[in-house]
């Protein structure tokens, strides 16, 4: 029988995000019905809201969700009513391609995603793919746990891809939801950190969290390359393409440039400098299942937790607009 829910909807491509009631059906095979506790607002929600076409329309947004399983569909054996779970962007994959067979399901070309190709977590109740859900420690509040499902997971995965060791220096471009968590993870690993952002408020947060340097992009090369000998890795979390050459300029020889922020814009780098310095350039998308489990483990131990501000569901449309305008520090989380 249908369950009444309230959700943040994108009714059509590039339409305004609205909050409205809708009926949620019982879960089908391989699915779970989840009563939501909280959901974070992610830059990917902004990107999806701005697309010219959508694979599913209308669609419930959101993929940083924490909730309680109410019921499960046929074939679901690893979950039961009452389990506390996290909902991520990754919903399912084909299971047969090279990426899936090698444990890299997040690169499957036929994957489905919550809040994009199927309904997401910005709702009081939602039906989601059960196989992708992660157990959430009871010691974490829903508000703190929600951003870990994407911001924390992606930030941790990018640091692992950067392969920085204790005592080395990583430059983090963008001190938003991902960057401020990456800074904490890096410090937990013994990695030195330099934070770069255009916002003085976000740079102040970086200093509070223990960044060795916290500077604006125009000062990054001087502070990181000239004064500190260069970064072993630079991770670009912001969606601004202008940050890519700025991050590149801060690297030492044989450094790594890791790109995370999603944008359709192009960037330009000098080929000769890339070759002569032996710079490695890599994209980083989400993380492994082990990364996600590690993120929740660190949060449960108090080693790294997000800075969050909590809002009601009706504020979701305004929050997505504020995130688009780079006016949110830490992570905005909707509490149901």
Going by C-alpha positions, the residue among 13, 16, 35, 15 that lies closest to residue 24 is: 35
What's the confidence (pLDDT) of residue 335?
A: 97
The 3-class secondary structure across the chain, one letter per residue, is CCEEEEEEEECCCCCCEEEEEEEECCCCCCEEEEEEEEEECCHHHHHHHCCCCCCCCCEECCCCEEEEEEEECCCCCCCCCCCEEEECCEEECCCCCHHHHCCCHHHCCCCEEECCCECCCCECEEEEEHHHCEECCCCCCHHHHHHHHCHHHHHHHHHHHHCCCCCCEEEEECCCHHHHHHHHHHHHCCCEEEEECCCHHHHHHHHHCCCCEEECHHHHHHHHHHCCCCEEEEEECCCCCCHHHHHHCCEEEEEEEEECCCCCCCCCCCHHHHHHCCCEEEECCCCCHHHHHHHHHHHHCCCCCCCEEEECHHHHHHHHHHHHCCCCCCEEEEEC
Over residues 100-122, mean pLDDT = 95
* pTM recorded for the entire structure: 0.93
Asked if 274 and 257 touch (Cβ cutoff 8 Å), the reply is no
The per-residue pLDDT for range 200-229, each reduced to its tens digit, is 999 999 999 999 999 999 999 999 999 999
Tell me the average pLDDT of the chain: 95
- Give the whole-angstrom CA distance, residue 180 versus residue 186: 10
Going by C-alpha positions, the residue among 2, 116, 152, 135 that lies closest to residue 67 is: 135
- Give the whole-angstrom CA distance, residue 195 versus residue 208: 11
- More confident site: 167 or 270: 167
Cα atoms in the 13 Å half-sphere on the side-chain side of 312:
3
- Does the pLDDT value for residue 2 go beyond 80? no
Q: Could you tell me the two tokens for 292?
A: 């996600």
- Give the whole-angstrom CA distance, residue 11 versus residue 56: 10
Going by C-alpha positions, the residue among 121, 222, 236, 122 that lies closest to residue 176 is: 236
- More confident site: 7 or 266: 7
The per-residue pLDDT for range 50-91, each reduced to its tens digit, is 999 999 999 999 999 999 999 999 999 989 999 999 999 999
Asked if 278 and 254 touch (Cβ cutoff 8 Å), the reply is yes
| Domains in the chain with CATH codes | 3-150+287-335 (3.90.180.10), 152-283 (3.40.50.720)
What's the confidence (pLDDT) of residue 329?
A: 86
Asked if 238 and 219 touch (Cβ cutoff 8 Å), the reply is no
Q: Could you tell me the two tokens for 195?
A: 């934070």
Please, which residues bridge with residue 8 across strands? 19
Going by C-alpha positions, the residue among 196, 180, 199 that lies closest to residue 309 is: 180
- More confident site: 270 or 39: 39
- Does the pLDDT value for residue 1 go beyond 70? no
């Amino acid at each position: 029988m249908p369950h009444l829910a309230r959700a943040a909807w994108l009714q059509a491509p590039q339409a305004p995000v609205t909050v409205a009631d809708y009926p949620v059906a019982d879960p089908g095979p391989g699915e779970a019905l989840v009563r939501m506790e909280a959901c974070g607002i992610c830059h990917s929600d902004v990107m999806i809201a701005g697309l010219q076409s959508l694979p599913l329309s209308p669609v419930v947004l959101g993929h940083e969700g924490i909730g309680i399983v109410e019921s499960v569909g046929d074939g679901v054996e690893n979950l039961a009513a009452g389990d506390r779970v996290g909902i991520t962007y990754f919903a399912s994959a084909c299971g047969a391609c090279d990426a899936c067979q090698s444990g890299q399901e997040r690169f499957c070309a036929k994957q489905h995603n919550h809040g994009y190709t199927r309904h997401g977590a910005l709702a009081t109740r939602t039906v989601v793919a059960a196989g992708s859900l992660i157990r959430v420690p009871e010691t974490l509040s829903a508000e703190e746990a929600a951003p870990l499902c994407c911001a924390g997971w992606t930030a941790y995965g990018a640091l692992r891809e950067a392969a920085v060791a204790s005592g080395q220096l990583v430059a983090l471009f963008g001190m938003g939801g991902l960057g401020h968590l990456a800074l904490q993870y890096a410090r937990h690993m013994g990695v030195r950190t330099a934070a770069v952002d255009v916002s003085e408020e976000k740079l102040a947060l970086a200093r509070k969290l223990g960044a060795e340097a916290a500077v604006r992009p125009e000062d990054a090369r001087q502070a990181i390359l000239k004064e500190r000998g260069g970064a072993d890795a630079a991770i670009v979390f912001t969606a601004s393409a202008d940050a890519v050459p700025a991050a590149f300029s801060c690297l030492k020889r044989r450094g790594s440039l890791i790109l995370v922020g999603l944008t359709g814009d192009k960037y330009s780098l000098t080929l000769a400098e890339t070759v002569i310095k032996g710079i490695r350039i890599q994209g980083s998308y989400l993380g492994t299942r082990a990364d996600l489990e590690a993120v929740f483990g660190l949060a449960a131990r108090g080693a790294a937790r997000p800075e969050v501000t909590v809002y009601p569901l009706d504020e979701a449309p305004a929050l997505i607009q504020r995130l688009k305008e780079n006016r949110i520090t830490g992570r905005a989380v909707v509490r149901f």
